[in-house]
Amino acid sequence: MATMPTVTAPSNQDLKSLYLSMNGRINRSKYWLFGVVAFIIIGVIAGFLDGILGLSFEGSPYGPISTIVILAMIYPSICIQGKRWHDRNKSAWWILINLVPVIGGLWTLIECGFLRGTVGDNRFGADPLGGK
């Protein structure tokens, strides 16, 4: 019977490295939990605050809080996705495929979100799952 990988809460140093460094690899569960889900939650909270405080721009659901938060999340999201590409044994330059309309986002979703990383060590570091 296959065992599910566990996701442990990272220490503060790990979070700094996770969000601010392009070095290393992360597995799918960290990508979804600390990348996709965390950024969605943060974005929703920022939008909610804009709405409650009446700061939304005219004709838009976004306001200054959402704008600042979105801009602040650009670099951490690049780091998270770069590490996921590294886990697939591909250069972080593959992030640029997101610029291709429709196909780029779909490709990234499949490669980073659903496909397993390289088993064992690769040129970007040790297997985040320990070769399991």
Q: What is the pLDDT of residues 26-51, one digit of tens each?
A: 999 999 999 999 999 999 999 999 98
> What whole-number percentage of the chain has pLDDT above 90?
73
Question: Can you tell me the distance from the alpha carbon of 7 to that of 21, in angstroms, rounded to the nearest whole number?
Answer: 19
Determine contact, residues 17/30, Cβ cutoff 8 Å.
no
Question: Can you tell me the distance from the alpha carbon of 87 to that of 98, in angstroms, rounded to the nearest whole number?
Answer: 18
Among the listed residues 74, 116, 81, the one whose alpha carbon sits nearest the alpha carbon of residue 95? 81
Residue 28 Cα distances to 76, 87, 103, 125, angstroms: 16, 9, 20, 16
pLDDT above 70 (res 10): no
Neighbours of 94 (CB within 10 A): 19
pLDDT above 60 (res 11): no
Among the listed residues 42, 24, 21, 40, the one whose alpha carbon sits nearest the alpha carbon of residue 32? 40
> What whole-number percentage of the chain has pLDDT above 70?
89
Tokens coding 52: 């409650």
Q: pTM for this structure?
A: 0.84
